[in-house]
Chain A
């Protein structure tokens, strides 16, 4: 029994070790938490400063945003399924789940852009009031992260298609997974603090 760990250690020195990459990426995500926390608190301080313009209550459609929330939540789940199917030995199953996650992410982003477009067309832009500046900054920072996640997901699909599930692609897939689940958590707070509390 006591010899086993030594043998394992020896074996692993020849092996790609992605654990530091994953931990490093975790630290990046922690710094992103700080970024979002500051944007949230700016929104909390400024959300009443509408400069005579509309409040969130008049601008937001809750069923629309609930649909967005459910789509993003489902995409987090399907990403988990992609991650879990890595052991099956068929890379196409992983790629299939990744495509589904990608299209759910695109749907989410399209709905967000549609919402922003409608607000801007009606004259409620980021220049209208401090409330809307804070709103657009917070929500589109999240949207920008989702866009980056989607580009990354496309590159992952191509890499797995080319190289299969290797220690390297698995490490990248793990980092993207942390990123994607993190964005879902941030959105829960956007949904609760901006949209739901805005509608109370």
Chain B
């Protein structure tokens, strides 16, 4: 029970975080952005690794901003927010991965070497 309990506003049902949580989110986001930028502009890694690293760093930043800026939490009072988010995430993954999968095979079967990923 040592975890800090988020305060839910009586008028909006939302939680707003603290100066500390906003500063943490902001600094983490700036650092993650700069790492991505540096890696790409210096070309420090092989191409395939760069794609994966930049993608992973973007996903980490998504998580950071969801927690520190949008205050998405596992708290039971906000469970519908989390549930609708997870549902959306599944939809997005189906759209994105499904489309890439189909189109990659289409290009391959048509002898086009277009998908350079």
User: Measuring CB to CB, which residues of chain A are less than 8 angstroms from any residue of chain B?
Assistant: 12, 15-19, 21-23, 26-27, 30-31, 33-34, 37-38, 40-41, 44-45, 48-49, 62, 66, 69-70, 73-74, 76-77, 80-81, 83-84, 86, 167, 170-171, 174, 178, 181-182, 184-185, 188-189, 191-193, 196-197, 199-200
CB of A19 within 8 A of CB of B13, answer: yes
Q: In whole angstroms, what is the CA distance A86 to B17 when docked? A: 12
Q: How close is A82's CB to chain B, nearest CB, in angstroms?
A: 11
Task: Given A23-B81, A34-B92, A66-B33, verify A171-B11 contact (CB < 8 Å).
Answer: yes
Q: Which residues of A contact B22 (CB under 8 A)?
A: 77, 80-81, 84
CB of B12 within 8 A of CB of A18, answer: yes
Majority DSSP secondary structure for residues of A touching B: helix
User: Measuring CB to CB, which residues of chain B are less than 8 angstroms from any residue of chain A?
Assistant: 9-14, 16-19, 22-23, 25-26, 29-30, 33, 36-37, 40-41, 47, 50-51, 54-55, 57-58, 61-62, 65-66, 69-70, 80-81, 84-85, 87-88, 91-92, 95-96, 99-100, 103, 114-117
CB of B55 within 8 A of CB of A181, answer: no
Q: Which residues of A contact B11 (CB under 8 A)?
A: 15-19, 167, 170-171
Q: In whole angstroms, what is the CA distance A174 to B8 when docked? A: 12
Given contacts A62-B41, A76-B26, A191-B33, 20 further A-B contacts (CB under 8 A): A15-B11, A19-B14, A22-B12, A22-B13, A38-B95, A41-B100, A45-B99, A48-B116, A62-B37, A66-B37, A70-B33, A76-B69, A77-B22, A80-B25, A167-B11, A171-B12, A174-B12, A191-B58, A197-B51, A200-B40
Q: Which residues of B contact A199 (CB under 8 A)?
A: 40-41
CB of B51 within 8 A of CB of A45, answer: no
CB of B51 within 8 A of CB of A30, answer: no
CB of B62 within 8 A of CB of A44, answer: no
CB of A84 within 8 A of CB of B18, answer: yes
CB of A77 within 8 A of CB of B95, answer: no
